Each structure stands twice: as C-alpha cells, then as structure tokens.
Amino acid sequence: MHLPFAPQGITPTEPPSVGNLAEKNWTSPGDQICGVTLDSGLLDLLEWKLVALQFQIKIKEELEAIASRLESLSSMSESVQNVCLEMLYFANYSGDAHSSIVRETWARLIDQALSSGGFAEACSVLKRVGSHVYPGDGAVLPLDPLCLHLKKAALERMEPGVESVGNEDVARALLTACKGATEPVLNTYDQLLSNGAILPSPNLRNSHLSEVDSQGFVVSPDMADALSVVPFSVLRNLSDKLYEKRKNAALEVEGIVKQLAAAGDHDKISAVINLLTTDFTYSPQANHRKGGLIGLAAATVGLTTEAAQHLEQIVPPVLNSFSDQDSRVRYYACEALYNIAKGGEDFIVFFNQIFDALCKLSADSDANVQSAAHLLDRLVKDIVTESDQFSIEEFIPLLRERMNVLNPYVRQFLVGWITVLDSVPDIDMLGFLPDFLDGLFNMLSDSSHEIRQQADSALSEFLQEIKNSPSVDYGRMAEILVQRAASPDEFTRLTAITWINEFVKLGGDQLIPYYADILGAILPCISDKEEKIRVVARETNEELRAIKADPAEGFDVGAILSIARSQLSSEWEATRIEALHWISTLLNRFPKAHLANILEFSVHWVLQFLNDVFDTLLKALSDPSDEVVLLVLEVHACIAKDPQHFRQLVVFLVHNFRVDNSLLEKRGALIIRRLCVLLDAERVYRELSTILEGEADLDFASIMVQALNLILLTSSELAELRGLLKQSLVNPAGKDLFVSLYASWCHSPMAIISLCLLAQTYQHASVVIQSLVEEDINVKFLVQLDKLIRLLETPIFAYLRLQLLEPGRYMWLLKALNGLLMLLPQQSAAFKILRTRLKTVPSYSFNGEQIKRTSSGNPYSQILHHIPSGSQISEDGDVNQEVGNSCLHNGINFGSRLQQFEQMQSQHRMHAKSQAQSRNNSTSLKEAQRPEDPLQQTPAAEMDRPPSRSSRRGPGQLQL
C-alpha cells in the first residue's frame, strides 16, 4: 500500500528484497554462533527482518502520536480520517484490529456521519470506508464495536420516530464493509448473541435476533423461536464447507426436532423447518443450500411418524433443489429426498412432482447425480408399487407428455416406469396403453440397442396382455399402428405390422371403421424389402379380405376403394396387384347378396365410386406387369357388367389405343383376348366394330381392324366366335355377327378377305379381290397378305383346306385363292406356299357348268345392272339352292356390302392422296421423302424369307 505522505522525522528507506539478500554473501564459511556454523543466507534474512520490524515500530509510534494530537479536533474531515485509517492499517502489521486507536478512529467516523447525515449516512460510510480498508487476508475490521455502535444509534432514532431504520440495514452494511465475506459477520453475531454480557440491553438482543440469521440475511420476527432452540453454532456448522461439520450439525437438528416432537411443540418445529428452508435451501451460498437440505432430511427423520403433517414444508424446497445449478447441491437433494422417502409412503402425494424431477435428473450431466437419482428412483418405485394412494389417472398425462423425448437416459427412465407399473396387479396400464403406445413405438428406432430392446420387451408384454384381455380399445391403437407401419425404420414397421395382424384377428367389429386405414398401411408393406414384413403383411391382407362386413355396420366402401385406387400408382408390382384384388373383391362381393334390397343397395353403393376409379384403372392398362394388366381387366369386367360402364370401357379402351400405339402393339392382344373371356367375345367385338365404323382417324381404324382381325383368326379364346362366323350363311346369329363386323372391317381389304374366308362367303371374297385397284395393293397390303397365307396353313383353316378336296363344290374358294396368288410377287415365300397348296387340289371334280358359272367375271356387276328375275346366284356348297332375292343370301345383301367396302376404300385412297400431297408440299427434304421408299425393299425380302421362331411376338403383342 502506498503512503500518501511520510511521517515527520522519518525518512523511509527501501529494504533490500529477498532476492537481493540471496544474491549477496554476508558470511564467511568460518562464521559460527555458539559453535554452530550458520548459513550466510539465513543470517542475512534474519538481519533484514529485524531492520524491517524496527522500521514498522517507528512508523506505528509516529502514527499513534499523530492520531492522539488530532483527537482534539472535532471537525476533522472524513478524508483526513480515511488517511489516518490507511496509515493505521499499514502500521498494524500484526492485524490487531481491536487496538484502541483503531476503535476510536472508527467511532469518530461513525459519529461524524450520524451527526451530518443520520443513520443512513453512517451505514454508507461504513460500507465505503470499510470496503476500502478491509484487508481480506485474514485480518478483520472491529466488527463487534461497529455493530453495537450502529445498533444503538438505530434504536435511539427509531424509538422517538426521528428516522426510519430497517432491520437489515446494519447487517447489510457490515457485509458490504467486509466485501461480501459472511464468515466475519457470522462470527460477530454469533459472539454477540451467545454472550449476553456484551449486549447492553434486552432490546438490543431482540433486535439482533430479528435482524440476522446465520447467513447475515433478514429473518422475520417469528424466526426468533427457531433461533432460540437451535444454537447458533449449529447453524454455523450447518453451512460449513466441510461435510462432516454439516453432518454433525444435522444430527443435532434431528435431536432438537425429536425433542420438540415429543413435547408436541409443532409450532417451533415449523419455525425450524422454515428457518432451514428460507435461510439455507434458498440461500445464494452453495454450502448453505447443502446444509439446508441435509437439515431438512434430519428434521424429517426426527419427526418419525409425525412427519406427514410437515411434508408440505419439507418436500417443495428439496424438489426445487433438483434444478440447482450446482451439481453437488442436486446430489444432496437426491440424498435428502431419499431419507425423507424412507420415512413412509405419505410423500406419495408429491409423486407427480417427484417423477418430473427424477425424469430431469435421469439425464443429468453429472454422473454422481445420475447415480443418486437412480437410487432414489428405485426407492420411489418400491413405495409406489406397495401404495394404495397412487393415482394412475393423474400420472398418465405426465407420462404422455414425456414419451417423445429423445434423450436416451430419459427414455430408459420412462420405459422402466411403464414396466414397473404394468407389473402391479391393481394398476390397469393396458387401459391407458393408447396414451403412450406411440412413444414406445418411437423408441424402437432409437440408436441405442438397449433402449430398443427394452421398448420391444414392453410392447411384447402388452401384446400378450391384449390377447388375454376380454376388452381392449383397438380403435385408438389402430390409428397409431397405421402411422408406425409407414416408419422408415425396419424394426418399427415389422412390430407395427405384427400388431396390426393380431388386431385384425382379435378386433372384430371394433376395427370395421378402421379397415380403410389398416389397408392403407398393409398394401405398401406387401412390397417391403424385408421378407418378414412382406410375409406378415400378406397374411394380414388375406385375413382382412376374408372378413365379411356390410356398409350398414360402418364398413366404408368408398374409403376402401380410394385407398386401393391410390395404391394403383405404387411403384411396386405386388402392391398394385393386391390393390386390384381388393377392388375386384368389393365389386364381386356385394352383388352376391342374398336379399334383393341389399343387392340393389350394394350395387348402387359401389358403382357410385366407379367413376373415380375408372380413369385410374384405364391408366393401369399400360402397367409393365402382365399380371397387373390382367387384374385390371378383371376389375373392368366387373364394372362393365353395367351396360353404361361397358360402353364407356370400350370407348376409353379404343381411345387409349389411339393415343398410345405402343399399348396396342404390346398389350392389344392380351387386353382384347382377356376382355373376350370376361365379358363375352361377341359382345366385345360388336361394340368395337360399332365404334371403329365411325372412327375419324382412318389410319388408326385400319391398324385397329387389322389387330382385331389377327386376334380373331389366331386366339384360342375366340374359337367359339369363329365357329359362329363359319355359320354366317346358315345361322341368323352368325349372319348378324358377320354383318356387324363387316362395317368396320372395311377399313382393311385384307381384313375383309380374311372375314369372308372365315365366314365361307368365298364368292364375295373373290369379288372383293377383283375389286381391288392399284392403290390398294401396297406394301402394307402385301405384308398382311403374307400373314394370311401363312395362317391358311394353320389348324384354324383346316376346314378350308379340306374343302379344296371338292373343287367342284367350292369353285369360288378356289377362284378366291387363285386371286390372292395372282396378287403375290412370284419370288415371295407366300406365293410358293399358296401355289404348292393349290397344286394339290384334285381336278376330277370339275364340270363344265361350274367352270362357266365361275368364269363370268364379277357376278355382282350383272346383279347391279341387269338383275334378271330367277337368276341363280349361290355361294360354294349351295349349288342347287334357289334364292328368292337374287342379291341376298341368308339375308345378307352382298351387293350392298360390296358398295360399303368400295366406299370405305375410296375414303382411304383420298386420305392417302391428301397425306402424299401434304408431304410433297413440305419444304423440308426429310418431310418430302416418301415414307414408302425405305419399305419398298422389305416386301420382297420379307416374303422371300420363311418365318422363324425368333421373329414371333410373345403373347399379347401384335406384329402389324
């Protein structure tokens, strides 16, 4: 400390430092004292210590003389007194704060402040000057006289009402003067309160009791009872930094409380608890808070069986300490509550608050606190399982709020409590399972294997209880399971789908309103990458579909159809297939109802959703999976049983073929053949023919007719239809079918010729062949003709080849085949095949009359121009048959049909010319090039090459 000035007559000199003394050699090796050799460095240090001490004594004497001379000056300023105090403390090297000079100087400072500014000014001076001169190194201020001086002054001003003085003013001034150090102040009050001789009056003693507690903080007057029964030394030890002192103090508190309890003095017990709570557990000093906690625990132990009536005071401050910033305080809070809990189950009324605190402590950053909380948690579990005061209804909301916490320690804590409570027979945890089921499933995806295992074990136990329970709330849990079945975690999905499987088996009518949601969860799992999930999902799907439910029972057909429709766009084939199975099941199930009213209601109920499903089903026809397409067709067939939807189906089907040529090429045969099986081939072909007859896109109509004609000639599913067409000349049904198909078949000459050969109208086939002009015989025509020639060699046309054995009876057949032969290039394979076949025709059955009849050119030209009555016109096989109307045969007006064909071909020729003209007018060289040019080389090469197995298309594909 720097002196502002040096006392008169004394010249301060700076003694050498310890370092300088060590550097200097003051003694020789021979220096001895009393025969003992002394180290030179030690001798130098002792000499300089003596010099410093003598110098300090001189300074002290001079300062005391100055102070004594200044005593007569009553108006000495505060600054001068401050200087004197600094000088005194500098001189008082021994730390004697109670010297008469120091006490008198402080007394003069306080008196001067009281006279000039009152009690508040005196406290201010004490704070300001004391904090400035307080050494803080073990030496202290003269706190005893300062405290008494200020208390006397306060009483003198309070009694006459001169000045308002607070109870805490003196204590706060002393604490500030000591720079916040509580130990000196505590010792001062302890001494003043324990030694009544020092206090001059009872009023002053009562003032001390009501003013300061062991911490130096404010104590209300009603604390006097507590302070009167608890020695101040106990309170001081209770806040000591050493655990042993706090423990011993707690034992004394236990004994005091035990005596008070035996005497029945619960008011003083409450005062002691209040003192421990207010002045210790809520203290800003950590050691005080530790002492307060151990003191409360000791008080509880001392109360023994009477602790219940004081738990409202004891437990809340302990719970509050669980959130203390000091980990050691939190640890002692666990220890305190552990000892409190051992006193009995009465504290169970605080269970929710204790559970909340333990939940937080389970994730504490301090390992010791976690360990203490774990021990406390086990004790609380034991108490709860044996208590009849525990309320599960109040606990469940607390549990539900914390189930989605991600901290692994908290999750273990929660699962542990769920498992323990579920093991108690009197607690129905199953009834509250929907409240925390989602949280348990959420833990299945935890990164910790231990937590996943614990959650799975708890869920397995609950599932077993569900199987054995007569009443379970399946509905609420089903909603949770549906959401968890879509979890990205594999284990969670497997567990959820397993639960759903059991629910479907056990739930019965309760699950009917949730069928749609369950189906929405099952269908994606059918295509899961994990085989176990797929197996369980398929089993569940079959179980669900086997359940017979009715809309009147809450079965939402619309929701089921919506779910199935949405899954049609799934990227997984298995899911799409099962979705179609569901739609088909619904459409087939309801019309089979036994009662007419239910039948009518069910059909209407289902069909009202078909418009929404229809477009999705049509798009599904382009699915890459053949199995999906076949199922789509089955669903379409169910829908098309209604005439309105049948027409709509065929129209949309033709539209899809028009806009997507690849669909017609790749799936056309498959779709048409399957529809013919499901919806009656004749009905399908008649509807298609009606639609194509008025088709505006002539190119598409021609391609479509060629495709239908090829299917008709080759498909085994259409054998019955072919048999009906073969009877066109003798059977009215066959005649109607022939006429119905003829109108649209006119779009393709080769299709008409094939239809006539199939229907055995050979004469009309010959006429059609002869009506062809140059524009009709193009590359496409020759390709189709090549296919027809090859088809004539198949079993389908075996009857036609056998008819060649009677050329006399089937002259028009022979002429038609020869006409086709004349249209083929001689170098083509088809020409050679047909010529070889015609060479085998026997010549023994020809007669002149028949040759004359068949060599007259086009018989319809005579019919159309001359029409003589009685003319005999007949098809092959009916040579002697008389026909009433010359142009009719079995009601078929072939002349009118020929006109129809020629008109349609005329439209095609005009369309071809307009397209050619449009290409010629194009400025682009690429667009000006005729599309037929690159194909000119293909017919001959293709017709010269026999068909190979590798060039054949698979089922459901057309080569056009």
Rounded distance between C-alpha atoms, residue 745 and residue 699, angstroms: 13
φ, ψ for residue 557, nearest 5 deg = -65, -40
Whether the CB-CB separation of 656 and 663 falls below 8 Å is answered with: yes
Residue 921 tokens read as 């007018």
Which pLDDT band holds residue 64 (cuts at 50, 70, 90)?
low
Is pLDDT above 50 for 23? no
- Residue 41 clears pLDDT 70, i.e. is over it: no
Distance CA 292, CA 510 (A): 57
The torsion region of residue 179 among left (phi > 0), alpha (psi -120 to 50) and beta comes to left
Rounded distance, CA 331 to CA 310, Å?
23
pLDDT tens for 696-752 read 899 999 999 999 999 999 998 899 999 999 988 888 899 999 999 999 999 999 999
Tokens representing residue 500 in the block: 């759903």
Average pLDDT of span 315-327? 91
212 strand-pairing partners: 218
* Count of alpha carbons within 13 angstroms of residue 571, beta-carbon side: 2
Residues 6+ apart with CB under 8 A from 868: 886
The pLDDT value given to residue 781? 87
- Give me the long-range contacts of 7-15 (CB less than 8 A, separation at least 24): 7/59, 7/62, 7/63, 7/66, 8/62, 9/62, 10/58, 10/59, 10/62, 12/55, 13/55, 15/48, 15/51, 15/52, 15/55
Report whether pLDDT(859) > 60.
no
Measured CA to CA, the distance from residue 81 to residue 99 in angstroms comes to 16
Task: Give the mean pLDDT of 814-840.
Answer: 92
Token pair recorded at residue 744 = 């649209």
Q: In the structure encoding, which two tokens stand for residue 147, read together?
A: 């405290």
Distance CA 867, CA 137 (A): 146
Residue 808 amino acid letter: G
Task: Reply yes or no on whether the pLDDT at 419 is more than 90.
Answer: yes
Integer Cα distance of 139 and 189 in angstroms: 17
Q: How far are the Cα atoms of 181, 251, 279, 584 from residue 238, in angstroms, in the given order? A: 17, 10, 11, 82
Using the predicted structure, report yes or no on whether residue 343 has a pLDDT greater than 80.
no
Q: How far apart are CA 488 and CA 132, in angstroms?
A: 69
Q: Mean pLDDT highest for which of 35-44, 283-292, 593-602, 867-876?
A: 283-292
Nearest to 190 by CA among 167, 208, 170, 168: 208
Three-state SS across 562-609? HHHHHHCCCCCHHHHHHHHHHHHHHHHHHHHCCCHHHHHHHHHHHHCC
Domain 703-840 belongs to what architecture? Alpha Horseshoe (1.25)
Predicted confidence band at 269 (pLDDT cuts at 50, 70, 90)? Answer: confident
Residue 627 pLDDT exceeds 60: yes
Mean pLDDT of 608-636: 75
Q: Grade residue 866 by pLDDT with cuts at 50, 70 and 90.
A: very low
Q: Tell me the pLDDT band of 936, cut-offs 50, 70 and 90.
A: very low
Residue in the structure block whose two tokens are 């000196």: 184
Give me the percent of the chain exceeding a pLDDT of 70.
73
pLDDT higher at 9 or 651: 651
Q: What is the pTM of this model?
A: 0.62
pLDDT tens-digit series, residues 155-214: 777 767 677 777 677 888 888 888 777 777 777 776 776 655 444 555 555 555 555 443
DSSP calls for 165-199: --TTHHHHHHHHHTTT-HHHHHHHHHHHHH-TTTS
Task: Tell me the C-alpha distance between 606 and 616, whole Å.
Answer: 16
Of 698-707, 774-783, 941-950, give the range with the top mean pLDDT. Answer: 698-707
Angle between helices 626-639 and 610-620 (to 10 degrees): 150
Q: What is the pLDDT of residue 590?
A: 63
pLDDT higher than 80, residue 657 = yes
Are the C-beta atoms of 839 and 822 separated by less than 8 Å? no
If DSSP codes are grouped into helix, strand and coil, which group holds residue 888? strand
CB count within 10 Å of CB 702 equals 24
Query: Does residue 627 sit in helix, strand or coil?
Result: helix
What whole-number distance in Å separates Cα of residue 855 and Cα of residue 432? Answer: 97
Closest CA to 834 of 873, 880, 788: 788
Q: Closest by alpha carbon to 148, among 106, 93, 100, 89?
A: 106
Please give the pLDDT value at position 547.
81
Which is it for the CA torsion 431, 436, 437, 443, positive or negative? Answer: negative
Determine the angle formed by the axes of helices 573-589 and 610-620, rounding to 10 degrees: 140
Q: What pLDDT is recorded for position 911?
A: 87
In terms of Cα–Cα distance, which of 577, 604, 608 is closest to 590? 604
For residue 336, what is the enclosing H or E element? helix 327-341
For residue 726, what are its two tokens?
């073969």
The pair of three-digit structure tokens given for residue 688, joined into one six-digit string: 């298609």
Most confident segment among 174-178, 502-506, 870-874:
502-506
DSSP state of 551: G
**Phi, psi at residue 238, to the nearest 5°?**
-65, -25
- Give residue 558's Cα distance to chain centre: 27
Q: Could you tell me which residue, 871 or 317, shows the higher pLDDT?
A: 317
Interval 790-803: pLDDT, tens: 999 999 899 999 99
- Mean pLDDT, all residues of the chain: 77
Give the H/E segment covering residue 254.
helix 243-263
Strand partners, 33: 36
- State residue 441's pLDDT score: 93
pLDDT tens readout for residues 444-489: 999 999 999 999 999 999 999 998 888 888 888 999 999 999 999 9
Q: Locate the domains of the chain by residue range.
A: 101-155+164-200, 222-390, 397-472, 703-840
CA end-to-end span of the chain, whole Å?
Answer: 114
When pLDDT is cut at 50, 70 and 90, the band that residue 758 belongs to is very high
Distance CA 641, CA 591 (A): 11
Asked whether 283 and 289 are in contact (CB, 8 A), the reply is: yes
pLDDT value at residue 12: 36
pLDDT tens digits, 536-590: 999 999 988 888 777 667 777 778 878 888 888 888 888 988 888 888 887 777 6
The model's confidence at residue 685, banded by pLDDT at 50, 70 and 90, is very high
Q: What share of the chain is helix, strand, coil (3-state, %, to 5)?
A: 70, 0, 25
In angstroms, rounded to a whole number, what is the distance separating the alpha carbons of residues 9 and 12? 10
In 3D space, the residue among 747, 670, 702 whose CA is nearest the CA of residue 904 turns out to be 747
Question: Per-residue pLDDT for 42 more than 50?
Answer: yes
In angstroms, what is the C-alpha Rg of the chain? 57
> What is the C-alpha to C-alpha distance for residues 689 and 682, in angstroms, rounded to an integer?
10
What token pair was written down for 304?
């023994």
Choose which CATH entry (3.30.70.890, 1.25.10.10, 3.40.630.10, 2.60.40.420) describes domain 222-390.
1.25.10.10
Higher confidence at residue 233 or residue 336?
336
Per-residue model confidence (pLDDT) at position 334: 93
Q: Contact at 8 Å (CB) between 165 and 173?
A: no
